Structure 1
């Protein structure tokens, strides 16, 4: 199953839905790409994949950022509408029941990095550069960057990246936790697909519970978080796939997870 608009293509292979950004010259996140992202997520809502893989069809670019040319030709109301459409697309991606993996091979800047951070995990090629340069334009990251980056790398590193607008190498991004795996240059999509395959081998309800519980750690006290953890594991035992997983372990067979 597959589909496309003029700047985004998607195809599903079993439990993995691959979304490819393809708007030359640099995948600027203008209205055409944001509309395409929403269309791909509509498809994902209907087809219920286990993992979303997000990559680029353009060599050297994941996404270079927001569409600056578009922003210079719109008024304040249109600027807000443009931002709202982009933000809602990234919010849908971040909240989607499927896990998501961004494959970064090249530049991921501004809105492009914000798109990658909306994914559950990130794999980057060794030559990739990542950054949030909005302060150099008199702006701040406005599609979740000020909120998601500190949760990934901590306050100090996030301020360093956003206040300077500098670009990070893949090695530094891996070291501080901005990306999760690094691949040889040109191999990020293959490495991200391998990660997606690994993720497909586990229980989806358990994976979603892991994500919810880890995210709760940023908003709850340790005591409340521990109680929430108990609620999650109890729910998995009563209503999730824990019974199948435990039985399969005892019977020395592969579990039949959804």
Structure 2
């Protein structure tokens, strides 16, 4: 596996649909002006945080990623124990997101079943296709690598979501498309949702809106930051 070190590559995360559908923000009808203000603020913070992490050296990112992976592995073990035969939804890293693919490979070697999120229908919840090294990935929506359509569709017990930003209440700032929120709202039973990102991406608040889904845990290179008791 190789690190995605080229920030100019045309890949995009499944949750970046705001680049295609910028009107997605306020599906439950909050005050329109307030929604526009929050959307504008989020765009500015998203750009600032993305620029900051893209400025990190490859060596620094590698050290941070190792620390995140160790903390995440401990969090999964504490919450779920043995993951053999259980579905863990990871992600393919882009735009200097934490590269946890070595940790995902270790989970697979220990018997976990891995999946990747896929946009099959725009403005709808993600699906999770089985991710195995024997099957080549293909380019999906927004040019991101995903398992092919022939891969099995799985229901994860845990979803690991990359963060652009996060706050102390457990809310995630993503790329603006709302895909992970839609997905977490729709999945039954609800999976354990863990956000992973950089400690420096913490915000006082993301000004959560009715459609924002609180995560069960947030893990950074400094360890678990948010952990629900439910």
TM-score, length-scaled by structure 2: 0.28
Structure index of larger Rg:
1
TM-score, length-scaled by structure 1: 0.25
Q: Counting helix residues as a fraction of each chain, which structure ranks higher?
A: 1
